[in-house]
Amino acid sequence: MQPSSYNVRQYRDLTMMNLPDGSILVIACDSLGGIGPKSQDTFTVPGYIVGRFAARVPLMEVMATGAKPQILVNTLSVEMSPTGQEILRGIRGEILAASLDIPIITGSTEENVQTCQTGVGITVIGLLANQEAFRAGPASKGNLVICVGKPKVGDEVHLEDNEIAALSLLQDILQLTYVTDILPVGSKGIAYEANLMAQTAGLALRLSETGPFSACSQNLTKSAGPATCLLCSLPPDYLAHFRKHVQSPVAVVGQVL
């Protein structure tokens, strides 16, 4: 079988590949630099926390499609002991906190030279049973686009913060069948991702005139760092139910038309 028959393609920040049995591989990656316990890091953060949030981003991107994570690959630009061990402890802690069953965790560390700044790369490979299991869009005309969590970056990011979207929150949202699209927000900000959500559906975004993410709000362009918030699209009639179900800040960003 020729590689082209696997239909490798990009979907937003994801790489997807159809397999012969009808299942789909979903691949996400993320990187982090200058944040950690090293002497020349811009933000001083324990290695454990680095591991938790570094793993969370690609896990969230894969899981938002409805895929089940199968493999996590860590490429650590630090020595194994002690920095790498603490980062790996954080990665495993994030997997445990979300009760995920990931059969393979593999990676490497830098053992040839001494490092003075933290660098981390994480790749997650997930599996969708079939196309019908895909959850990441498209949004439907008239859907509201709502933000769950708040955009935070750098020293604003803390592990025990209910204003930050966690994997457990995403897992709860995935159970809501009326949610038509889910999109984690990263460094490009809410406005970029909300417009991408609308464009994916072949629609346009009309921003809200009030609230924390109104058209004139600086929150729209602020980096959400390690996916501290995520966007969801849903019919307006379900907003009240969504607010009751989700134990995190919820605000309307706009509507797709």
Q: Is the pLDDT of residue 1 over 50?
A: no
Hey, CA dihedral for 51, 56, 62, 67, is it positive or negative?
A: positive
* Predicted pLDDT at 217: 81
Closest by CA position to 94, among listed 132, 53, 64, 60: 53
Judge whether 232 and 181 are in contact, CB under 8 Å.
yes
Which structure tokens are listed for 142? 């008239």
Closest by CA position to 133, among listed 256, 26, 6: 26
Supply the DSSP string of 154-173, one letter for each residue: GGG--SS-TTS--HHHHHHH
Q: Encode pLDDT of 138-196 as tens digits.
A: 999 999 999 999 999 988 999 889 999 999 999 999 999 999 999 999 999 999 999 99
- Confidence band for 96, pLDDT divided at 50, 70 and 90: very high
* Predicted pLDDT at 214: 74
In the block, tokens 């994570």 appear at 69
* Predicted pLDDT at 127: 97
Q: Encode pLDDT of 45-95 as tens digits.
A: 999 999 999 999 999 999 999 999 999 999 999 999 999 999 999 999 999
Q: Encode pLDDT of 114-137 as tens digits.
A: 999 999 999 999 999 999 999 988
* Predicted pLDDT at 4: 53
pTM: 0.93
* Predicted pLDDT at 213: 79
Domains and CATH numbers, the chain: 3-133 (3.30.1330.10), 144-256 (3.90.650.10)
Q: Which H or E run includes 48?
A: helix 47-63
H helical segments located in 68-220: 85-97, 167-174, 190-200
Closest by CA position to 191, among listed 166, 234, 221, 235: 221
- Confidence band for 2, pLDDT divided at 50, 70 and 90: low
* Predicted pLDDT at 86: 97
Q: Encode pLDDT of 194-235 as tens digits.
A: 999 999 999 999 998 888 877 778 889 999 999 999 999 999
